[in-house]
Every structure is written in structure tokens, then in C-alpha cells.
């Protein structure tokens, strides 16, 4: 039986991971959970799955859960890191949102745990550091993002040198057809209304700006060892083809399915086997497939992401940190939708890039970018 740690258990990926585990009580055992502030849902998860250890974001919530567990309850980065790396864990599902997922995921890698990676920021911020440590520890990193899982499935059994490029698909978000002249009037409630996926607020806003796709481009560079020129993006509104791989002979391999995260989660949990995920069967007789070039004039965050990737060093960490502040400011009504890329670009332009950063350099750049972005919005 495989022991599972879930970082971000009350978020969308965490909940769907537990949905898959619930289908296979003979294959998976929940060893530890780390969550944010949704204490009521976490309490339900603890009562059902009876993990050995739980971590919360706030120390104030720790006392509320201690009576439910036979062992420990932790908090903060330290608690999440313990949950990720403790004895009995075979695979850590990294699904904490944002930069907060980096250190617990790295702790799991250093402890030799297999990683099911849904926290793209881990590789966006510190891809070189994390992948080098994974190589030292002999740790396999399995992608959970539907796009990267699709690429992973499409390259299995093929030689890396035969890959011409990978094509990450994007739904285009809710504003693909809205005139750019109206972008200043976009409200948070409109931006949170994703046409295909049910996700958390941060990733939903990032999908609306296409910044999420840019982060996935950077993540793909480290997961698959490809140069920026070999990573393309195609807007596919139906979200049926999750991504594609083009080979040097002109062949394309595509992974398709319903837009349901339980599929890639189940693949990562049971790899190299496949197990029932609970995701609905795709009815191709009712499906249509359309593909468009992304409009980086309307959605400059995608172009900024490619710029950060090509710059390398600490620039991707700065891109990510500035975006986290910008999204929070937009949701709080302090900047318009168009202020998100403007703020990110301004912070990137002001950054003194470190080309070969250590982990400490990455963390320092992240902290600097957050201060710079917060000052720019008056926060």
C-alpha cells in the first residue's frame, strides 16, 4: 500500500486527490495532510482518512485539531515540510498554491519521496535547484497539471531527441473573444468565471490573464528539459486535448479526455499503472476541436513569461511573486484587470537578475519582488 502525503488537501487538487484515493482504499493510505485555513473541511478529512500528522497554516488553529489525532499537528512551512517528508510517505502530492509550496516540496525531494507535482511555482521559482536535488536523490517528479501530464503521457516510449516541440493547450479563459478595449472594466467576479475548469481563485485569475499558461511553459522547461523554442502554446477552447507532442517526422501525439483533474491525479498516484479515477468518459461524437494562436497583445502575461524564461536566473521567481501580489490587488479592487500585466512588467524591469541563483538567491528575489509590487500598488 502506497503512503500518500497531500500538501494543500482542502484545495481543488487536494480534494480531487482524496476523491481518487477514496476509490482505492486497498492501494493508497493517507499518511499526512497539510492545509490552509479551511478548518471545517480539514476536520472532515481527518475524521475520514485518519492521517498520522496534519499541518495548518496558522498556529491558532492547531489546538482545535489536536484532540482528533493520535500524533502530531504542526503549522506553517515547518509543519508542511514535516508532513511532506515524514516516515511512511512514499509519494507527496504537492498542491499548495503559490510560492508557499516550494520549501515543503523541496523537503520531500531531499527526503527521497516521489513527487506528484501540481504546484508549478516550485519549478518556476527554483527549477534548476529542485531538479538538481531530485537527480541527487533519485526522486521521480510526476506532473499533475493536466497539460504536463498530457505531455508526459505523450512522450512515454519515445526518444527525447525525436521531439520537435511540445504544445501546451490553453482554454483561452473567459475573455478570449472580449475586445481588448473593454479589459479595464473586467470585474473579479467575471474573471473568476472560468468556462471549463473549477479551480481556486488565484489559478482562475491566472488562467484569465494567460499567466498560468506562461508559468506552465516555465515548468515544462524543467520537467522535460526543453529550450523555450521547443515549447509552444495553442488556445483550445474546448479543453479536450490537454496537450500535444510533435515529433521530427511530423507525427503528433495528443492526450485527450474530459476536463477533470481526477484523470491526471490518478495517473500520477498509480504510475506506471492506470486506475479508475472517477472522471467521466469523453463522448467524441459531441466534441469539437478548435485551435488558435494565443494573442499576446491582449494577453501580455504570456509574453512576459517567455521573457522571464529566456532571462532565466531569478527572473521567473520575480514574475511569479509580482503576479501573486497583482492578483491579490485585483481581487481586492486596488488595480484593474489590465493592471496585472503592467505591475508584473514594472517589477521585472526593475529587477537585477541573478543568472545562476542559489536557493537563497531565489528566496531573496521572491521577497524583493513582493515588496516592490506591494509598494507599487500602495499596499
CATH number of the domain residue 216 falls in? 1.10.1740.10
Q: Clarify whether residues 351 and 232 are in a common domain.
A: yes
Which residue stretches of the chain have pLDDT < 70?
A: 66-71, 195-199, 379
Look at residue 198 in the predicted model and tell me its pLDDT.
64
The reported pTM is: 0.94
- 111 & 175 share domain: no
Instruction: Give the model's pLDDT for residue 197.
Output: 60
Q: What is the pLDDT of residue 68?
A: 66
In the prediction, which pLDDT does 62 show? 74
Do 322 and 205 belong together in one domain? Answer: yes
Number of domains present in the structure of the chain? 2
Instruction: Report CA-CA distances (Å) from 367 to 68, 370, 372.
Output: 36, 5, 9
Are 154 and 97 within one domain? no
Q: Residue-wise over 83-114: b if at least 16 C-beta within 10 A, else e?
A: bbbbeebebbbbbbbbbbbbbbbbbbbbbebb
Q: Of the candidates 119, 134, 157, which is a domain's last residue?
A: 119
- Distance, in Å, from the CA atom of 18 to the CA atom of 379, rounded to the nearest integer, reads 37
Judged by DSSP in three states, 67 sits in helix
pLDDT for position 193:
84
Q: Specify if 142 maps to a domain.
A: no
Sign for the pseudo-dihedral over CA of 305, 307, 310, 315: negative
CA distance 53 to 63: 14
pLDDT (0 to 100) of residue 297: 93
Q: Give the span between the Cα atoms of 46 and 179, in whole angstroms.
A: 47
Do 80 and 182 belong together in one domain?
no
Range of the domain at 348: 148-376
How many angstroms separate the CA atoms of 47 and 34, rounded? 14
What pLDDT is attached to residue 200? 77
Residue 346 falls inside a structural domain: yes
pLDDT at 72: 82
Within-domain flag for 131? no
233 - beta bridge partners? 168
Q: What is the pLDDT of residues 164-181, one digit of tens each?
A: 999 999 999 899 999 999
Residue 13: which of 69, 94, 89 has the closest Cα?
94
Amino acid at each position: 500500500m502506497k503512503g500518500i502525503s497531500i500538501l494543500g488537501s482542502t484545495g481543488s487538487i487536494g480534494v480531487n486527490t482524496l476523491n481518487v484515493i477514496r476509490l482505492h482504499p486497498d492501494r493508497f493510505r493517507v499518511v499526512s495532510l497539510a492545509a490552509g485555513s479551511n478548518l471545517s473541511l480539514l476536520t472532515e478529512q481527518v475524521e475520514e482518512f485518519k492521517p498520522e500528522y496534519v499541518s495548518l497554516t496558522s498556529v491558532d488553529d492547531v489546538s482545535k485539531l489536536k484532540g482528533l489525532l493520535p500524533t502530531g499537528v504542526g503549522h506553517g512551512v515547518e509543519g508542511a515540510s514535516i508532513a511532506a517528508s515524514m516516515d511512511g510517505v512514499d509519494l507527496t502530492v504537492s498542491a499548495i498554491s503559490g510560492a508557499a509550496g516550494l520549501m515543503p516540496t523541496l523537503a520531500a525531494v531531499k527526503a527521497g519521496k516521489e513527487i506528484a507535482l501540481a504546484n508549478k511555482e516550485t519549478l518556476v521559482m527554483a527549477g534548476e535547484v529542485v531538479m538538481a536535488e531530485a537527480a541527487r536523490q533519485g526522486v521521480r517528479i510526476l506532473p499533475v497539471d493536466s497539460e504536463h501530464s498530457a505531455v508526459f503521457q505523450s512522450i512515454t516510449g519515445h526518444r527525447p531527441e525525436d521531439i520537435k516541440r511540445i504544445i501546451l493547450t490553453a482554454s483561452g479563459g473567459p475573455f478570449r473573444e472580449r475586445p481588448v478595449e473593454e479589459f479595464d472594466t473586467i470585474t473579479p467576479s467575471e474573471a473568476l468565471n472560468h468556462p471549463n475548469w473549477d479551480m481556486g481563485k488565484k489559478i482562475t485569475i491566472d488562467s484569465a490573464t494567460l499567466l498560468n499558461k506562461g508559468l506552465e511553459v516555465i515548468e515544462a522547461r524543467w520537467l522535460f528539459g526543453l529550450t523555450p523554442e521547443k515549447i509552444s502554446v495553442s488556445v483550445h477552447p474546448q479543453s479536450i486535448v490537454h496537450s500535444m507532442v510533435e515529433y521530427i517526422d511530423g507525427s503528433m501525439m495528443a492526450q485527450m479526455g474530459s476536463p477533470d483533474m481526477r484523470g491526471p491525479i490518478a495517473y500520477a498516484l498509480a504510475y506506471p499503472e492506470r486506475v479508475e479515477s472517477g472522471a467521466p468518459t469523453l463522448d467524441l461524437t459531441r466534441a469539437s476541436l478548435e485551435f488558435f494562436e494565443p494573442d499576446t497583445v491582449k494577453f501580455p502575461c504570456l509574453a512576459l513569461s517567455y521573457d522571464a524564461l529566456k532571462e532565466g536566473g531569478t527572473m521567473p521567481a520575480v514574475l511569479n511573486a509580482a503576479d501573486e501580489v497583482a492578483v491579490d490587488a485585483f481581487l481586492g479592487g486596488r488595480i484593474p484587470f489590465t493592471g496585472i500585466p503592467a505591475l508584473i512588467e514594472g517589477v521585472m524591469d526593475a529587477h537585477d537578475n541573478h543568472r545562476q541563483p542559489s536557493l537563497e538567491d531565489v528566496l531573496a528575489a521572491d521577497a524583493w519582488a513582493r515588496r516592490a509590487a506591494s509598494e507599487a500598488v500602495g499596499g
